[in-house]
């Protein structure tokens, strides 16, 4: 191939790449109905930025029913889920890569894409080294399903890592959902979200009220509530795990609350022949969930 032909191929390729990027920008413009490409928020006094920064506090998350996710993988999973994404923030440096290539096709029409400076993105995010992208996601309302399977009931667990691990493990074990009692750690704080590894968008999470109405509804429809507690001689591995059960795990220090234990159908403990008093809450939950999996899916 001579020099002339090499030049033709080289510039044809560059031209094609340019046209591809340009067309992607046009598609995004038409899809969104606005020109985000020429606007960059650089002021921390911007009303949207001030609103979003408040979501780093639990009381504002609960008040507005929204939370923040950070990083490309988390944002992509949010966009691909049934959750509603309100804002998508992308840094100037990462804008073309993310919007025109990585996630452009996943952006829905009702998502407002906003280009921000690096310093503004750092203020929105909780991680020390953000990946150049973050999103604001609305809470998702979920009702319990009356079908065969198991729910994981989490009662007043306080550690974000444990909470996130239980959500992730429940997703892996095929749980129908997670039921969370009042007084449990906020599942939408950044540490919990990271520990879920994206399972927060794949597993229904049901927030129980003070009367434990969701549990009562499930029990009325044939579900049995199994309370994990050391105050019994009943070995969990000897429990008949029916097709419709709720497995309950409690607070790291105090275990299950009396309210949950009092309405349980079965009390059981995980046998521990070693010299320890208790298991980590996340590990205990995993042991019980995968015993259900072993009995029904293996």
Extract the residue ranges of the chain whose pLDDT is less than 50. Answer: 3-4, 6-38
Task: Scan for tokens 């096709």, then name that residue.
Answer: 105
Q: Show the domain range for 184.
A: 149-297
108 within some domain: yes
pTM above 0.75? yes
Number of domains in the chain: 2
Q: Specify if 23 maps to a domain.
A: no
Residues 166-190 pLDDT 10s: 999 999 999 999 999 999 999 999 9
**DSSP-derived secondary structure for 40-58:** EE--TT-HHHHHHHHTTSH
Distance between CA atoms of residues 184 and 207, nearest Å: 10
Q: What pLDDT was estimated at residue 110?
A: 85
| Same domain assignment for residues 229 and 274 | yes
Identify the CATH number of the domain in which residue 49 sits. 3.30.1330.30
Domain termination residue (choose one: 138, 158, 191): 138
In this structure, the answer to whether residues 93 and 175 fall within a common structural domain is: no
**Is 269 contained in some domain?**
yes
- Domain annotation covers residue 1: no
Q: Tell me whether residue 87 is in a domain.
A: yes
In the listed set 138, 163, 194, which residue is the last one of a domain according to the structure? 138
Number of neighbours of residue 81 by Cβ within 10 angstroms: 15
Q: Which residues of 113-124 are buried (b: 16+ CB within 10 A; e: fewer)?
A: bbbbbeebbebb
Query: For residue 105, is it within any domain?
Result: yes
Q: Which of 85, 115, 138 is the last residue of a domain?
A: 138
Half-sphere exposure of 186 (CA within 13 A, CB side): 17
- Report if residue 275 sits inside a domain: yes
């Amino acid at each position: 191939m001579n020099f002339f032909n090499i030049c033709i191929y080289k510039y044809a390729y560059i031209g094609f790449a340019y046209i591809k990027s340009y067309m992607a920008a046009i598609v995004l413009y038409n899809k969104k109905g606005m020109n985000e490409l020429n606007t960059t928020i650089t002021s921390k006094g911007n009303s949207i930025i001030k609103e979003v920064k408040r979501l780093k506090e639990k009381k504002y998350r609960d008040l507005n029913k929204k939370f923040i996710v950070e990083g490309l993988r988390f944002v992509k999973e949010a966009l691909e889920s049934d959750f509603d994404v309100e804002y998508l923030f992308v840094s100037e440096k990462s804008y073309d890569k993310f919007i025109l290539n990585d996630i452009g096709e996943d952006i829905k029409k009702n998502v407002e894409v906003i280009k921000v400076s690096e310093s503004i993105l750092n203020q929105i995010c909780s991680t020390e080294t953000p990946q150049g992208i973050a999103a604001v996601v609305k809470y998702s309302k979920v009702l319990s399903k009356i079908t065969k399977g198991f729910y994981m009931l989490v009662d007043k667990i306080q550690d974000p890592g444990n909470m996130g691990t239980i959500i992730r493990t429940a997703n892996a074990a095929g749980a129908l959902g997670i039921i969370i009692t009042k007084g449990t750690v906020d599942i939408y704080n950044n540490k919990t979200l990271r520990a879920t590894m994206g399972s927060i968008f794949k597993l229904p999470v049901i927030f129980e009220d003070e009367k434990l109405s969701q549990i009562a509804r499930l029990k009325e429809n044939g579900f049995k509530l199994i309370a994990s507690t050391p105050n019994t001689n009943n070995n969990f591995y000897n429990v008949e795990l029916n097709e419709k059960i709720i497995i309950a795990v409690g607070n790291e220090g105090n275990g299950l609350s009396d309210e949950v234990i009092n309405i349980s159908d079965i009390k059981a403990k995980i046998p521990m022949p070693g010299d320890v008093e208790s298991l980590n809450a996340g590990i205990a939950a995993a042991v019980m969930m995968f015993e259900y999996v072993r009995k029904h899916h293996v």
